[in-house]
Amino acid sequence: MARRPDRRKLRTLRLLRDALIAQILEKGYDAVTVQDITDHANLGRATFYLHFDNKEELLMSSLREMFDDLKERFGVPPPDSFLAGDHPSRLVPFQHAFEYRDLYRVTLLSQQGTAAIVNGIREYLASNMGERLQAAVPASANGKMPLDVLANYLAGGMIALISWWLKSSAPYTAEEMADMFRQLALPTLLTFADSTQPR
């Protein structure tokens, strides 16, 4: 038994994955056809269907690999990991994102489909917050944190709250949500914005 894995097959899979990412980065997920992928990988179109049902499955298989790697690196969360400033696990998400940056770009920054909208909204919120912060924080204030980093962080937190709110049928009013957001954001703001601001 123990069929030899046929080295050809593994090579083919790798070629397809690479071609997909390359093509997505070039023209966007929706615009990529199976033909594009196989052309770019120098394979026959039928060969694609030998291994995957459609291009979504190919993308998913790549993402699954990446995701499994992420989970494995995190491992079981150690009890006190979170607040300890120097625990190495704090690096995991960012290192992981950097290593798989092509795949992250493909998904997080997608300019197609509804993902584009989400990105548009977050960017708008970030720039809107940026302006407000600009006004609220004296230019003199401590440069401990770049303003657009701060703005994006807050915008991302807000979007996440809204998503969670609309997804779960959590019984909160818009006002309660706004208050929660304020409570969550205020400690950070007070730290990085001018501390002379009123409560």
- Binding residues (CB under 7 A) for DNA: these are 3-9, 11-12, 33-35, 38, 42-47, 49-51, 53-55
Under the binding rule (CB under 8 A), the answer on residue 33 touching a second copy is: no
Per CB under 8 A, does 165 bind a second copy? yes
Contact 36, 26 (CB under 8 A): no
Check binding of 50 to a second copy (CB under 8 A).
no
User: Which span sits near a second copy by CB under 8 A: 4-12, 14-22, 33-41, 190-198?
Assistant: 190-198
Out of 9, 11, 45, 90, the residue judged to bind a second copy by CB under 8 A: 90
From the list a second copy, DNA, none, partner contacted by residue 42 (C-beta under 5 to 8 A by kind): DNA
Q: How far apart are the first and last CA of the chain?
A: 72
Half-sphere exposure of 16 (CA within 13 A, CB side): 30
When asked if residue 147 is in the footprint of a second copy (CB under 8 A), the reply is no
Quick check: helix, strand or coil at residue 51?
A: helix
8 is a contact residue toward a second copy (CB under 8 A): no
| 189 burial type by CB count under 10 A (0-12 exposed, 13-18 middle, 19+ buried) | middle
Q: How far is the CB of 4 from DNA (least distance, A)?
A: 4
Close Cβ partners of 158 (under 8 Å, ≥ 6 residues apart) = 125, 181
Q: Which residues, 6 or more positions from 147, have their beta carbon under 8 angstroms from its beta carbon?
A: 130, 133, 134, 137
Query: By CB under 8 A, is residue 85 in contact with a second copy?
Result: yes
**Binding at 81: pick from a second copy, DNA, none (beta carbon under 5-8 Å per type):** a second copy
